[in-house]
Amino acid sequence: MAIKCIRCVLSGRVQGVFFRRSAQIKAAELDIAGWACNLPDGRVEVLVCGTEVEIEAMRAWLWRGPPHALVDDVTWEEVEIPRDLEGFEIR
């Protein structure tokens, strides 16, 4: 199956709620590569690389997030696969 990457930006109560680490755990379950990082404006950016099925599963999870998160919005765009991508990092 073809691998693709999407860049997601999440808004709401997404910082300070264990979101990045929870995304890393979920990505490991789904065998997804990428990263999660906090943005200066309070949002979280998540890069998700995998098959269409894996990406859809992760995208559905991103709308829920960890228990204390309150996700208001998730935007995404398809991006090129980074050359140095290995595993799923917290940045």
pLDDT, one tens digit per residue, over 41-61 is 999 999 999 999 999 999 999
Residue 20 falls in the annotated catalytic set: yes
Whether residue 58 lies inside any domain: the answer is: yes
Are the CB atoms for 81 and 3 separated by under 8 Å?
A: yes
Retrieve residue 48's tokens: 């998700």
Q: Which of 56, 51, 58, 62 is nearest to 27 (CA)?
A: 58
Whether residue 90 lies inside any domain: the answer is: no
Query: What domain range is 17 assigned to?
Result: 4-83
Whether residue 26 lies inside any domain: the answer is: yes
Number of domains in the chain: 1
The CATH number given to whatever domain includes residue 17 is 3.30.70.100
Whether residue 91 lies inside any domain: the answer is: no
Whether residue 66 lies inside any domain: the answer is: yes
Per-residue pLDDT band for 19 (boundaries 50, 70, 90) equals very high
- pLDDT of the residue at 84: 84
Among candidate residues 7, 38, 83, 91, the one labeled active-site is: 38
Q: How far apart are CA 76 and CA 84, in angstroms?
A: 21
Among candidate residues 20, 21, 59, 91, the one labeled active-site is: 20
- Per DSSP (E only), the strands in the chain are 4-13, 33-38, 44-50, 70-79, 88-90
- pLDDT of the residue at 46: 98
Q: Using the predicted structure, report yes or no on whether residue 83 has a pLDDT greater than 80.
A: yes
Element (H, E) at 83: none
- pTM (global) more than 0.75: yes
Whether residue 53 lies inside any domain: the answer is: yes
